Structure 1
Amino acid sequence: MSNSFLTNLNTQRGGALMDELGDEYRDLIAAVRETGKKGKLTLELEVKPGGGEDNEVIHVKDNVKMTVPEHDRKPSVYFSTQNNELTRQHPEQQELPVQDATPGVETQAAPKEVPEAEAGPPKEAGS
């Protein structure tokens, strides 16, 4: 009777190892297809003597590890303030008066007026 490597894998934990490997393999393939990145499925077998004369009893312990590829996470952009806090608005940029231009929609707030002293002289085109 031949005890090949695959026969041992098929009988490891009553066949549960092969079921686990098959499920993990399918999940890994789906993640690789979804992300376009590589992944990894690792089977580790720990083999140690279990006793008996001449150590004829052998214990085999399995461990299945899967490294699933992940989607890239896009960074968020912030500006730092003088108080070392983060804000989405540039701390030294003035807000522009923005109004809804949708026909039939009335604006609720009038745009802020910039005092003439802050506005400065009108700029010429091209400068």
Structure 2
Amino acid sequence: MATLSYNALAIGPSGAFGYFAERIVDLPGVTWHRYTLAALALTTVLGRRQIDISARMIGVLIASEILILAVMDLGIFAHKGAVALPAVSFEPSVAFGTGLGAALTFAFPASAWGPRSCRFWTTTRTSPAPIR
């Protein structure tokens, strides 16, 4: 049941990856299906290999993500200045307002099955806690 559930959770992000890859790369004749299958193939190869390879790959991807976001933030700040970073976003009426439920709906499950949790799930699989 756990495998079925995990696979069901992976279908949505995989399809989304294919859709956005098609929009960004924009190669003629290449549909989102092919990008999705390529991503699934890479995930399968990394998953079947040693966990160290997957952990290194995750490290490279997370470092790349942080670098891209830092460059983007610096570009926005350089272009718009302090106006681009309004303090109103941190006011309680905004932070705990309308979108909080939707944000938490995506935040908590993502931490349980996202790529950053591979160490936790590997430890659980190799030395499970006894059921009491």
Q: TM-score range by the shorter chain?
A: under 0.3
Which structure carries more strand by proportion? 1
The structure with more helix, counted as a fraction of residues:
2
Question: TM-score, normalised on structure 2?
Answer: 0.19
Larger RCO (CA within 8 A; separation ≥ 6): 2
Please report the TM-score for the alignment, with normalisation by the length of structure 1: 0.20
Q: Radius of gyration: which is bigger?
A: 1
